[in-house]
C-alpha cells in the first residue's frame, strides 16, 4: 500500500516514519531522506568520533554522541547529525533526545545523497541555532568545511582541525590528512 507524502513534516511525524534503514530528517517542515551511510563514511566517522571522545574523556567530559539521534530544535525540525557534542545534563536524567537543547559541535560526513542538505539546509539551521561549530567532512575532496554561526563562507581545512569544548582550556586536534587517508 502506498501512502501520499505530506508536503510539511513535523518532528513527531518524522519520528512516526518506519524504521527502514533510511535516515529521516525535517528542517522547517521539509523532509530529507537519505540512505544508510556507506563504508567509507562509517570508517571516517569512527576515527573522528574516537579522536573527539578521547579528547573529551581525557578531560572528564562525556558529551559526544553519534546518530541515529533525533535532535529537535522546534516542532518542525528534527535532525540527525553524524556526530555531535552536546550539553547532556538533562538528557542523562531522562535519556530522551528531546532533552538535548545545546549543541557545541555538529559534524556531518557528506555523501552524494546528503550533500545539498548537509551544505545548505542543515548548515543554515545550525547557523540559525548558533551552534558554535559545524563541520562538513568531504572525503572525496579530502577536506573539512568549518562553519561558524555568522560565517558567509566556511574555513576549509585540509591539514588540521582544532576545536575546544567551551568548558575546557585544552584544544582537540585532528589530523585531516590522516583522518581521510583511508576514506
Output the domain CATH number for residue 83.
3.90.1570.10
Structural domain harbouring 75:
38-180
The reply to whether 103 falls in a domain is: yes
Q: Give the Cβ contact number of residue 91 at 10 Å.
A: 18
- pLDDT given for residue 6 in this prediction: 55
Q: Is the pLDDT of residue 3 over 50?
A: no
CB 111 within 8 Å of CB 38? yes
On the question of pLDDT at 68 being above 90, the answer is: no
Q: Which residues pair with 71 in a beta bridge?
A: 79
Tell whether 100 is covered by a domain. yes
Q: For residue 138, tell me if it sits in a domain.
A: yes
CA distance 60 to 111: 33
Kind and range of the H or E element at 154?
none
| pLDDT, position 21 | 80
Share of the chain above pLDDT 90, in %: 54
SS3 helix, strand, coil % of the chain, rounded to 5?
A: 30, 30, 45
Is 175 within a domain? yes
**How many domains does one find in the chain?**
1
DSSP labels, 56-121: HHHTT---EEESS--EEEETTEEE--SEEEE--TTHHHH--GGG---EEEEEEE--TTTHHIIIII
Tell me if 33 is assigned to some domain.
no
Nine cell digits for residue 84: 555531535
Spatial distance between the Cα atoms of 136 and 139, rounded to a whole number of angstroms: 10
Residue 130 lies in a domain: yes
Q: Does 1 have pLDDT greater than 60? A: no
Q: How much is the mean pLDDT over the chain?
A: 89
DSSP structure class, residue 8: S
* Contact partners, residue 167, CB within 8 Å, separation at least 6: 61
pLDDT at 43 exceeding the cut of 70: yes
User: What's this model's pTM, rounded to 2 decimal places?
Assistant: 0.88
- Domain membership of residue 74 (yes or no) is yes
Picking from 76, 101, 83, the residue whose alpha carbon sits closest to that of residue 91 is: 101
Residues 105-133: tens digit of each pLDDT: 999 999 888 888 899 999 999 999 999 99
Q: At residue 113, what are phi and psi to the nearest 5 degrees?
A: -75, -15
Amino acid at each position: 500500500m502506498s501512502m501520499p507524502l505530506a508536503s510539511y513534516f513535523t518532528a513527531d511525524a518524522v519520528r512516526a516514519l518506519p524504521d527502514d534503514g533510511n535516515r529521516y530528517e525535517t528542517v522547517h517542515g521539509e523532509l530529507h531522506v537519505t540512505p544508510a551511510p556507506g563504508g567509507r563514511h562509517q570508517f571516517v566517522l569512527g576515527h573522528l568520533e574516537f579522536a573527539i571522545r578521547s579528547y573529551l574523556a581525557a578531560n572528564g567530559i562525556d558529551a559526544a554522541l553519534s546518530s541515529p539521534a533525533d535532535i529537535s530544535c522546534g516542532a518542525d525540525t528534527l535532525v540527525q547529525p553524524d556526530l555531535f557534542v552536546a550539553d547532556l545534563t538533562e538528557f542523562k536524567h531522562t535519556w530522551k533526545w528531546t532533552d538535548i537543547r545545546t549543541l557545541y559541535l555538529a559534524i556531518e560526513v557528506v555523501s552524494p545523497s546528503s550533500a545539498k542538505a548537509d551544505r545548505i539546509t542543515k548548515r543554515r539551521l545550525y547557523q540559525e541555532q548558533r551552534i558554535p561549530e559545524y563541520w562538513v567532512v568531504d572525503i572525496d575532496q579530502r577536506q573539512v568545511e568549518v562553519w561558524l554561526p555568522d560565517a558567509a563562507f566556511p574555513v576549509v581545512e585540509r591539514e588540521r582541525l582544532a576545536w575546544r569544548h567551551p568548558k575546557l582550556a585544552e584544544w582537540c586536534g585532528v589530523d585531516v590528512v590522516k583522518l581521510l587517508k583511508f576514506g
